[in-house]
Amino acid sequence: MKEYELKYGCNPNQKPAKIFMEDGKDIPLEIINGRPGYINLLDALNSWQLVKEIKEALGMCAATSFKHVSPTSAAVGNPMSPELKKAIFVDDIEGIDESPIATAYARARGTDRMSSFGDWIALSDKCDATCAKLIAREVSDGVIAPDYEPEALEILKTKKKGAYNIVKVDTDYVPAEAEHKQVYGITFEQGRNNLKINEELLKEIVTDNKELPEDAKRDLIIALITLKYTQSNSVCFAEDGQAIGVGAGQQSRIHCTRLAGEKADKWHLRQHPRVLNLPFKEDVRRPDRDNAIDVYLSEDYPDVIGEGNWQQYFTEQPEEFPRAEQREYLASLKGVCLGSDAFFPFGDNIERAAKSGVSYVAQPGGSIRDDNVIETCNKFGMVMAFTGIRLFHH
């Protein structure tokens, strides 16, 4: 395929629109089903790079859930606890424990389900039937993968009345060293960001505590690769083989940290017994459950458990989950990892991270206030590595 005509660009008024290779070669994609649009393919190409790099760095299959050119999460196929399965609504998926790629996507999709509604999916490995069954029941725009099992394809082709976007990527394709982009008719050129993210970037530990366990190294690598394909400024919290909170596209670093921290907090709170035991009616759909849980954990909780409201969602009126009890639970957490795409200018980012159980930090370093940031990490007994590299993405 030399050229692929799109319905329109980012918006319906932006026509004509197409993708093609400037050197005249074939596009390294096969559109197996559907008709992906401009934003779909931006998500597809960015998300594929992300999972490809995680697979190369860790040797584990990976998946990501993308929305508007940023990941809501990324994950590897690490086995899930019963609590996590229930919290992200996959405890009824038969055979998920035997499918690492389905597990990876279940984790990625389940991290921030509100943001993932209508996502684009990328898989580092062949999509099997178990993964396809999981994708089939969620609202999403499309998927990109290196290959698909025949049964998986048949399942996916039933989505969106047969119009679901299924893209196969050429894994042998190597992009050119120089990238070009036009803004206001002016062409920008830069070297492609081929930086390899691995354990070597975590060797310069600048805090008093220098104990960085293997699982923390894995999670920091996932966080950093996720940030490499997240609209900047960005911060990523990670734990247990997945990103658990991404704060993307904020102008202020502390706002990135707060946003990512709030998402990480909700990921943890979804696994709290109070949430796991909410008495939902059987006919309440997953998206409506997601929204109800989100409100239940907020200051607006009476909107879902107040008299006259709870009857819409539950078989009986749930008890309030007091904010003080939520904060106490979150304060008991340890072992969360935090990555940043640029240096932390103030220690307030670390103060906020500590409230979400962060024990390990990776950031470029280089601020004139590095001493203050290190001191704040030491106050909480955190381990912090200076990577020496920035990961802006625009």
Residues with a catalytic annotation lie at 67-68, 233, 394
Distance CA 83, CA 271 (A): 6
CA angle 1, 49, 98 (to 5 degrees): 100
Residues 6+ apart with CB under 8 A from 145: 122, 123, 124, 125, 126, 127, 167, 168, 169
H or E stretch at 116: helix 113-116
Residues 6+ apart with CB under 8 A from 41: 6, 19, 29, 167
Distance CA 68, CA 140 (A): 13
Distance CA 54, CA 32 (A): 25
Residues 6+ apart with CB under 8 A from 279: 314, 315, 316, 318
Residue 13 burial (C-beta neighbours within 10 Å; 0-12, 13-18, 19+): exposed
CA angle 157, 9, 247 (to 5 degrees): 80
In the three-class reduction of DSSP (H, G, I as helix; E, B as strand; rest coil), residue 4 is classed as strand
Measured CA to CA in angstroms, residue 45 lies from 49, 82, 245, 302 at distances of: 6, 33, 22, 42
Measured CA to CA in angstroms, residue 362 lies from 203, 324, 378 at distances of: 10, 30, 14
Q: At what angle do helices 214-228 and 38-58 cross, to 10 degrees?
A: 150
Dihedral angle sign, alpha carbons of residues 52, 58, 59, 60: negative
Distance CA 376, CA 379 (A): 5
Distance CA 42, CA 61 (A): 22
Q: For residue 20, which phi and psi values (nearest 5 degrees)?
A: -165, 165
